[in-house]
Amino acid sequence: MPYHIGFNQKDLGINPPEIALLSGEPERSRYIAHTYLQNVKLLSEYRGLHSYLGYLPNKKAILTATSGMGAPSLSIVVNELIQVGIKKIIRIGTCGSIQPDVSLGSVVISQGALCRQGAANDIAPIEYPAVADPFLTVALVETAQKLQIPYHLGITASVDSFYEGQERVESSANPNLQSWLLGITNQYRNLNILNYEMEAGTLFKMTGVYGFSAACICGVIAQRTESEDIIAQDKNLAVERAIKVALESIS
């Protein structure tokens, strides 16, 4: 029994899932399971890492699981998901845009990540590429086009901290950033990086080292060229779009 996720391979039945939809929020994992899947079974709620087994209308088994916030938590969950037989993972997350044309409510499909994450450095050297599976990524793009959902394909900045690491000073308890972080968002913008988030880089390094497939799609809920704020009224639309693209891509 893997210690953290709270279930093992036997709990997944005689035709176990090979695909997991991974969300940071337990509420999102529960929503996906009870809105889009059939014959849903709660596998575990241990440590707030809610996991559900369910089935698509075509009877394909799917796992919808929770990674928690940030790369250290995700690295634990992904390691244990691989132990119970998962072979493909799609992260369904949220992000902040750092490009003016990446609008609120759209989705970002990450083809790779600038990986500034300590957990990733434990898995592979800093120079090791953090890249998504090309086939899963193309499937997400083609589905977004089919569903006419506004999407952006490109490079994501994956960083460990939500406030300092994403150069938030107005909304943070700490307005005093280290000097190397001052102007980092504009530097990334000039590198044509699309967005900030906190997990994809480590997930992508794990795919290369562990030998599974992974992709990432995030709903845009903050427009950092305008404000540090998360725009709550756009979150539901952005997340719903990301979920629909991911599910349609694996159906």
Catalytic residue status for 34: no
Q: Which residue has the tokens 């089935």?
A: 55
Distance CA 63, CA 107 (A): 22
Distance CA 204, CA 132 (A): 6
Please report the pLDDT score of residue 234 as a whole number: 85
Single pTM value for the model: 0.96
Q: What percent of the chain has pLDDT over 90?
A: 96
Q: How confident is the model at residue 231 (pLDDT cuts 50, 70, 90)?
A: confident
Catalytic residue status for 28: no
Q: What is the pLDDT of residues 85-135, one digit of tens each?
A: 999 999 999 999 999 999 999 999 999 999 999 999 999 999 999 999 999
Among residues 80, 164, 167, 199, the one annotated as catalytic is: 80
Distance CA 44, CA 26 (A): 11
Please report the pLDDT score of residue 49 as a whole number: 96
Q: What is the pLDDT of residues 3-49, one digit of tens each?
A: 999 999 999 999 999 999 999 999 999 999 999 999 999 999 999 99
Q: What is the pLDDT of residues 177-206, one digit of tens each?
A: 999 999 999 999 999 999 999 999 999 999
* Average pLDDT along the chain: 97
Q: Is the pLDDT of residue 251 over 90?
A: no
Catalytic residue status for 80: yes
Q: What is the pLDDT of residues 48-91, one digit of tens each?
A: 999 999 999 999 999 999 999 999 999 999 999 999 999 999 99
Residue 196: closest CA among 157, 155, 224, 223: 157
Among residues 4, 47, 189, 240, the one annotated as catalytic is: 4
- Identify the structural domains of the chain with CATH numbers, from first to last: 9-250 (3.40.50.1580)
Among residues 50, 152, 224, 241, the one annotated as catalytic is: 224
